[in-house]
Amino acid sequence: MKKQSNLSRLLGYAGRHKILTYLSWVFSAVSALVALVPFWYIWRILDEVLRVAPDFGNAVHIMHYGWMAVLFAVVSVLIYIAGLMCSHIAAFRIATNIRIDTMQHITRLPLGLAESFGSGRLRKIVNESSAATETYLAHQLPDKAGAIATPCGLLFLLFVFDWRLGILSLVPVALGFLIMMAMTGKRMAQKMKEYQNALDLMSNEAVEYVRGVPVVKTFGQTVFSFKKFKASIDNYEKWVIAYTKELRLPMMFYTTATNGVFALLVAGALIFTRSGVTGEFLLNLIFYIIITPVISLTLTKIMFMSENGMIVADALERIDSVLSLKPLPETDRTQHPKDASVELSDVHFSYDGKNEVIRGISMRIEPGQTVAFVGPSGGGKSTLANLISRFFDPQSGSVKIGGVDVKNIAKNELMDTISFVFQNSRLIKASILDNVRMGKPDASEREVMRALNAAQCTDIIEKLPQGIHTIIGTKGVYLSGGEQQRIAVARALLKNAPVVILDEATAFADPDNESRVQAAFTELAKGRTVIMIAHRLSTVINADKIYVINNGKIEQCGKHKELCASDGLFSKMWKDYQTSSKWKVEKEAQV
C-alpha cells in the first residue's frame, strides 16, 4: 500500500476548507507572476531614458510607466493577501482538527500510558507540532507556489532580452541550488529530528522540574534537584553549537553564490563589451542587475521551505507517536462487580516487556478492608495500584474487582468503582465547587458542601472570598499541598466509589494539615475498600493488613504488631522510621 504523503494527510483534516488551500496556491502563483510585471515597466523606463538622452524632456511616457509599475505591484500584493486569507482559514481549521483528534485519542489512552509519556512532551506535541503544520500551510505552501511560478517568469525575462546575460545569471543559481540540496538532504532531516528531540527533552524536564518545586522545598534540595533539567539544557546547547558550526561553511558559500550574481554580471559585461558598449547592451545589463536580486530571494524561500517541510514531517511523526498508542482493549461482554473486593492472581508486569516490575503477586482484599502497601522506593507499590485501577494491563495473571476481571468491566463503570487520591493532587483553574463536582458532575451544592465538611475543608471555605465559588489560581488565591489533598478527598467522597486508592496522599502535608487529612481519610474509609500506599509508616498502623512490597514481590504480610514482632524488612523500616522521626523532633526542638 502506497504511503500517504504528509500534504495529503494534512489536507485530510481540512474538510470543506480544502478548496481554500488550493485557492491560496493559485493566488500566490498569480501574485508572483504579476509582481514581475513592474520590472518590465522599469525596463521600458530605462529604454526610453537611454533613447532620448541627453534630451530627457522627450521622455513623455515615464510617468505612465511608473504608475503602471506601482499599479501592478499593488495588485500583486492584494492578490497575495487574498491567498494568505484563504491559506490561514484552512490552516487554522487543520491545526484545530489535529489538536482535537490528538486530544480525543489521548483521553482514550490508559492513564498510566499517558503519564509515562511525559506531560511536558505531550503538551509540546499537541501544541507545537500542530502549530508547525499551521505555519507550513498558512505561509510556506503558498510561498512555495509563488516560488515555483517566479522562476518560470524569470526565465522568460532573463532570456528575452540577452541570452548571454541570462545564462550568467543562472550560474550562481545552479551553484546555490546544489549547496542548498547538500544542506537540506536526508542528513538535514535526521538533524532536524535530533533538534526536535532535544527540544522535547528540555520542555519535558522543565515542566517536571516546575511541578517538583514543592518537593524541592519540602526536602531542602539544592543544585541536585534540577540536575536532569540542567543536563537537558546542556545537551541542547552542545547540539545547537555543533550544528551551527557544521553549517557555517556551506551557508557562507550559499550566501556568496546567491548574492554574487551582480559581480558575475559585471565580469561578463566586461568580457562581452571588449569591442565596445552599445546602448541596448547597457540597457539590458542595468535591467539584469535590477532583477537578479529576485533570484536570491526566491532561492532563500525555497531553502526555508525545504527546512519547514522537514519540520512538518517530524511534527507529523511525533503526532503519530501519540496516535499509534493503543487504548486498552474493551470486551463486548461487560460484567458488573458483585462487591468491593480486590483480588490479584499471579500477576506479572513489565513496562518495557523485558524487566519485570511485578513478579507473580497474588493477594485478596476483602470488601471494606483497609490495606497498606509499604516498602522501599521502586519496589512496585504504585505499579500495583495502577494495575488494580487498570492504568495498565498485566502481561500475565488477572486483576479482579468484585470477582470480575477488570478487563471485562466497562471503562466508565470501572472509573465509577474506583476513586484516587494521589500525592500531588491537581486542581483545575475553576471554583472549589467545580473542582469537587468532577467526582459527580450532577451533584447539587448541598451535596458538595456535605462532602467538603466530611473532608475537613470547612476552614478552607471560610477563608476564601467567595466560599465554594472562589476560583483557584486567580487573584492570588492558591491552596497549600495539604489543602489541595483535602479538596481531592472531598471529590472522592462525593464520587462515593466503593474502592479507594490513596497514593502517598499525605506526602506534602504540614503537621496541621496532615491531622486534618487523616481525619478526612477516616471518613473516606467508612464502608469502603481502601488501598493505601505510604512511606510514613505511622499512617498505616491501624490498617487491617499491611503488604510489604519489595523487588516486585510480597515480602511480608500481616498486621502492624505482627510485622514489628517478626524479624523482617518491615521491622527494620519501622525502627528506621522511628529513629528519623525522633531525630526530626530533636532537631526542631534545637531550632
Paired with 400 in beta bridges are: 343, 405
Position with higher pLDDT, 61 vs 159: 61
Which stretch of 209-213, 269-273, 346-350, 501-505 has the lowest confidence by average pLDDT?
Answer: 209-213
Give per-residue pLDDT as tens, 134-159: 888 888 788 888 877 877 777 776 66
Answer whether residue 564 shows pLDDT above 60.
yes
CATH number of 342-590: 3.40.50.300
Answer whether residue 496 shows pLDDT above 50.
yes
Instruction: For the chain, give every residue range classified as CATH 3.40.50.300.
Output: 342-590
- Model pLDDT, residue 514: 64
Answer whether residue 241 shows pLDDT above 70.
yes
CB 318 within 8 A of CB 325: no
Answer whether residue 84 shows pLDDT above 60.
yes
Mean pLDDT value of segment 71-83: 94
**pTM of the prediction?**
0.63
Answer whether residue 369 shows pLDDT above 60.
yes
CB 539 within 8 A of CB 506: yes
**3-class DSSP state for residue 491?**
helix
- Residue 212: which pLDDT band, with cuts at 50, 70 and 90? low
- Model pLDDT, residue 251: 79
Range 580-589, long-range pairs (CB < 8 A, 24+ positions): 581/538
- Residue 323: which pLDDT band, with cuts at 50, 70 and 90? confident
Q: How far apart are CA 303 and CA 247, in angstroms?
A: 13
Mean pLDDT value of segment 438-455: 89
Give per-residue pLDDT as tens, 516-560: 777 777 777 788 899 988 777 877 888 899 999 999 999 999 998
- Model pLDDT, residue 225: 55
Cell of 317: 511523526
Give per-residue pLDDT as tens, 412-442: 888 889 988 876 667 888 888 998 998 888 8
Q: How far apart are CA 194 and CA 199, in angstroms?
A: 9
Q: How far apart are CA 195 and CA 305, in angstroms?
A: 17
- Residue 48: which pLDDT band, with cuts at 50, 70 and 90? confident
Alpha carbon 273 to its chain centroid, in Å, reads 61
CATH class for the region spanning 6-323:
mainly alpha
Answer whether residue 179 shows pLDDT above 70.
yes
Q: How many CB atoms lie within 10 A of CB 209?
A: 18
- Residue 281: which pLDDT band, with cuts at 50, 70 and 90? confident
Q: In the 8-state DSSP scheme, what is residue 344?
A: E
Q: How far apart are CA 90 and CA 92, in angstroms?
A: 6
Paired with 399 in beta bridges are: 344
Cell of 102: 490528538
Answer whether residue 133 shows pLDDT above 50.
yes
- Model pLDDT, residue 4: 67
Mean pLDDT value of segment 83-95: 91
Instruction: For the chain, give every residue range classified as CATH 1.20.1560.10.
Output: 6-323
Answer whether residue 117 shows pLDDT above 50.
yes
Range 465-469, long-range pairs (CB < 8 A, 24+ positions): 466/431, 467/432, 468/431, 468/432, 468/433, 468/436, 469/431, 469/432, 469/433
